């Protein structure tokens, strides 16, 4: 985990965490932008804190951050068996594609995805 954190801090364009009781419970990392035209987001939420809205809050923050750049899409890639991420993508009205054993999910940043930071 320490090695992953070091690589993320060195390579990600943006990282934000979800804190509960002064402890980090989830993280989203954003990579990319130019020249691909999209940002890629990677999520992790501590298992006992899943299904409580932390992933949705992290996705909303990622959408808001990526929308401030020239990119038109926020992309997530995950296992097709990752049902919590599939639910999160569906809630964001994302376009889903199955590629081999992975889901490639695009959240459009053109304003068609409604977010609320309340």
Q: Which residue has the higher pLDDT, 111 or 109?
A: 109
Residue 17 has pLDDT above 80, yes or no: yes
State mean pLDDT over 36-62: 89
Which pair of structure tokens corresponds to residue 93?
A: 């009205």
Binned at pLDDT 50, 70 and 90, residue 118 comes out as very low
Find out whether 60 and 18 touch, Cβ atoms under 8 Å: no
Cβ partners under 8 Å of residue 49, min gap 6: 18, 20, 25, 26
- What CATH number was assigned to the domain covering residues 2-108? 3.40.630.30
Domain segments of the chain: what residues? 2-108
């Amino acid at each position: 985990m320490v090695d992953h954190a070091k690589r993320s801090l060195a390579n990600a364009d943006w990282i934000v965490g979800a804190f509960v009781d002064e402890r980090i419970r989830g993280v989203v990392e954003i990579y990319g932008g130019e020249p691909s035209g999209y940002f890629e987001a990677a999520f992790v939420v501590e298992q006992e804190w899943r299904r409580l809205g932390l992933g949705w809050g992290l996705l909303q923050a990622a959408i808001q951050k990526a929308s401030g750049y020239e990119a038109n899409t926020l992309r997530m890639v995950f296992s097709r068996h990752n049902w919590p991420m599939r639910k999160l993508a569906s809630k964001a009205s994302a376009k889903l594609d199955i590629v081999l054993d992975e889901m490639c999910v695009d959240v459009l940043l053109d304003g068609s995805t409604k977010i609320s930071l309340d």
